[in-house]
Structures are given as C-alpha cells and as structure tokens.
Amino acid sequence: MKFADLITKKIKNEELNFNEVKYIVENYSNNQINDKEMTKLIDAFLINPMTEQETIDFFDVTYQKSQKVDLRQIKNFKIDKHSTGGVGDKVTLLLLPILDALGLKSYKFSAGRLGFTGGTIEKLKSFPNIELEISAENYMQKAKENNILLTSGIEEMSYFEKKLYHLRNVTQKNNVLGMVVNSVMIKKMILNNDGLIIDVKVGSGAFFKTFKEGLQFAELAAKIANKYDRKFSFIITDMNEPLGENIGNKLEIIEVINFFKNKQTKDLKEIVIAHVHEALLMSKKTKSLKETKSQVEKIIKNGKALEKFRQFVEKQNGDFDFIYKNQEIKTKNKIEIKSWQNGYINIIDTSKIGSFVNQINVLNNNKIDYESGVQLFKKNGDFVGKNELIAIIWTNQKNTNLLESQFKKLINIDQKQKIQVSKIKKIIKNF
C-alpha cells in the first residue's frame, strides 16, 4: 500500500476503506508519513469531504490505538464538556465549578487555542504555577483526588490526534468536518465519563459558519457517541458576537470570577444555564428549567460556586489569589474605542475579533501575553450615542493608532437595529 495512491484515490472521490484508514493512522503516528504528505491528504479531504464511514473508521482506529482512562470506579455522575470553539468562550470554566457545587464531577482534556479561537488551557495559564499536564499513569490517581480535573495531556493517550491537531493548526486547515469530529470525540471518549455535553458553536465567530454545518457535526458525533453507548447532549449555540464582555486570557478569568459574584451578561448566563440544565437532566438532578435556575442562583448567591472554582484552580497548584485579589490589567497601553456616530452596533465578523485578540496576545519573543485583550461593552443591536465607550483594548504593543484603526473596521454602527435572538439554536440528545 502506498500513501500517494490513497491521496489519488481520494482526489478521485473514492471512499477509503477501513484498512486504508488504519494504514494512515498507524504510519502518521510512527512518522512513516510526514507532515507534508499528511497535508496533501487533508487537501484531498477539502476537495472531496470525508464520508460518514471514513469518519467513523478514522475514529475507531484512533480510539483502538489510544490509551483510555476508566472512571467508573469514581462515585457521582461524571460530566465531560467540550466546545467546538468560539470568541470569548469561557463556558467550561463556569460550568465545571457549578456542577461540582451541585454534586457532579467533571474530568476533561482541553486543547490549546486553534485558529482565531481562544483556548481554555491558555486562559487557565493566567494563574501562575497551575499544572495542566498530567501523565497517563498519574491521571487516575489525580481524578480520585479531585472533583474537577482539566488537563492538556492527550499526547500519551493519543499520539495520532496530538500530531494531527498541531498540523491542522499550523497549516490553518481546520475545516475538514470528519477530522474535527475525530479530534473532538477522541478527547471525549478516551475518558469514560457518564455523560458528554458539547457546545456546537455556529456563526461568524465559530468554525461552523452556518447552522447546517453545526448540525452535520452534531449528528455525526452523535453516531459515534451512540455506538460507544455514551449519554450526550449537543447544544447548538449562536456565535455571531463574542460571548460575554471580555476576550483574552486573564480578562476572561476575571469575567468568570465576576460571574460567580453575580455580575453576569445576559448571553453568557443563557448559555451557562442551558449547559447546567442538560447536565442535571442527564444525571436526574432536576425536573424543570425553573428548578435548575433556582439551584444555580442559590450556589452563586451563597458563594459555593466561586469557592469550587478556587478549589479547582488550587488543587492543580494554581495561584488563585494572583488574579482574585488583583484584577487590575497591567499593560503598557489602554486604547478606548468610542462611538463615532449615533446608531446600533453590528459586529461584522466575530472571527476577526478573535484573530485581533490573538494578534495582540503575542509578544515580540513569541510568548503569550496573558494580560492583553479586549473588553467589549456593547452587543449586536445595542444603541450607542456619539462618543460613547464601545470597547477597551489592553495591549503591550506600541502601534496603538494602527490597532485602534484595525478594531474599528470590525464593527459597524448602523441606523437599523439588528434584532437579538436566543443563543440556543437546537439541542440533540439521547436521554
């Protein structure tokens, strides 16, 4: 079998069989297929998308060759949550402490940022000394000691996925549906949690630009979850504007802390409540949305959710008080973006806001600047008067005039109001 022949076969729009998929996974994992060659296969999949069977075969082979963690010996219902990626998305960091406060446990692998999105791992690294890499042999012991365990360490578990994720990121080839499904589901399935919740984001600030694309992902991922007998809820949500107010690593941690202090934006609260409700329904801990909202309100009001967030960070050796006790943003420059006319806010392309933030998050030495980011105080459809504050850019970069000009091009101020819609588009589940 020759790899070049498999690329040619796919270019001709012929389906790869199970043995051919197995050959690809095994040989890319052991470096017999190099990154340049693998990129050519990805290009072939961009021309002729992976079929449903190819996607399932890729998952099955990857899963068979991955190390698993059996969490069944840990008591309490266990939830794994994932997002397909968005801008300002800090739902995971809110959901897990809330679930802990309500008697559920959460164990998950998180990847770093991909493309224009922000990564949960990078946000958590805003806490000095936090440990996010745990070896495979130590994972189970750590899970027994923690109600929440969030790590980046999938390399030992699935070397193929680790390599392919990196390749897709550096080549910016992130929209092969079958590979996205495989990437997400392998991280979820190698941990044997009781239930799985995936936030499938759609819109200009998501990888899935349309509802149809997000639905295709959810339905394909659902087939894998059903095949492996895993309870799931796929929540398709709108990502046509950044979620919440803050975009950037430390800034988003601050917003999480403030959420637990009952300072919440409407959009973020809606999505968090929907996730909590699905988790509680799945674990049979609620009978109605009203009951779920009451439970969440109680643990936020009495401080239990915030305390669970602190415990989560500190049990992974993070310095929680480094941010909690000092929420000042320490950048050399603060750029205020004010309205240049009266009208209604219309964010043109949320992915470009994500790319803008990622751009100012990188220092000259290519290290991540955890302090920098954007606070966006106005949402789609909000009215602004002339000279009203729309956003603040926090940055250590010197080219402030250029950054201000670039950011203003990402927002229109229209005379016609853009009507706000519910962030929850559809929920697909098997319970």
pLDDT digits 0-9 by tens, 88-115: 999 999 999 999 999 999 999 887 776 7
Residue 62 lies in a domain: no
Residue 108 lies in a domain: yes
Same domain, 319 and 347: no
Same domain, 39 and 118: no
Same domain, 116 and 240: yes
Q: Are 383 and 344 in contact (CB under 8 A)?
A: yes
pLDDT at residue 152, as a whole number: 85
Most confident of the ranges 56-70, 94-108, 115-129, 168-182: 94-108
Edge-first strand listing for the sheet containing 333-338 = 246-247, 373-376, 389-395, 333-338
Q: How confident is the model at residue 154 (pLDDT cuts 50, 70, 90)?
A: low
- When the pLDDT of each residue in the chain is averaged and rounded to a whole number, the result is 94
Same domain, 250 and 200: yes
> CATH number of the domain that 210 lies in?
3.40.1030.10
For residues 190 and 59, what is the distance between their CA atoms, to the nearest angstrom? 11
Residue 196 DSSP SS3: strand
User: Which of 100, 20, 62 is closest to 295 using CA atoms?
Assistant: 100
Same domain, 388 and 320: no
Same domain, 387 and 287: no
Q: Is the pLDDT of residue 17 over 70?
A: yes
Amino acid letter, 196: L
Q: How confident is the model at residue 46 (pLDDT cuts 50, 70, 90)?
A: very high
Same domain, 11 and 82: no
Q: How confident is the model at residue 155 (pLDDT cuts 50, 70, 90)?
A: low
pLDDT tens digit string along 110-153?
877 767 777 899 999 999 999 998 887 788 899 999 999 999 86
User: Which of 268, 251, 250 is closest to 259 using CA atoms?
Assistant: 268
Same domain, 314 and 210: yes
pLDDT at residue 156, as a whole number: 63
Residue 90 lies in a domain: yes
Q: How confident is the model at residue 347 (pLDDT cuts 50, 70, 90)?
A: very high
Q: Is the pLDDT of residue 53 over 90?
A: yes
Same domain, 377 and 269: no
Same domain, 310 and 405: no
Domain that holds residue 401: 333-414
Inter-axis angle of helices 289-301 and 91-101, nearest 10: 90
Q: How confident is the model at residue 220 (pLDDT cuts 50, 70, 90)?
A: very high
pLDDT at residue 136, as a whole number: 75
Instruction: Write down the H helix ranges in 48-133.
Output: 52-64, 91-101, 120-124
Same domain, 7 and 90: no
pLDDT at residue 137, as a whole number: 78
pLDDT tens digit string along 237-270?
999 999 999 999 999 999 999 999 999 999 999 9
Domain tally, the chain: 3
Residue 54 lies in a domain: no
pLDDT at residue 270, as a whole number: 98
For residues 255 and 276, what is the distance between their CA atoms, to the nearest angstrom? 18
Residue 174 lies in a domain: no
User: Which of 372, 374, 377 is closest to 329 using CA atoms?
Assistant: 372
Q: How confident is the model at residue 47 (pLDDT cuts 50, 70, 90)?
A: very high
Q: Is the pLDDT of residue 316 over 80?
A: yes
Q: How confident is the model at residue 165 (pLDDT cuts 50, 70, 90)?
A: confident
Residue 154 lies in a domain: yes
Half-sphere exposure for 345 (CA within 13 Å, toward CB): 26
Residue 30 lies in a domain: yes
pLDDT at residue 153, as a whole number: 66
Same domain, 309 and 185: yes
Which pTM value belongs to this model?
0.93
Residue 69 lies in a domain: no
Q: Are 358 and 113 in contact (CB under 8 A)?
A: yes
> CATH number of the domain that 372 lies in?
3.90.1170.30
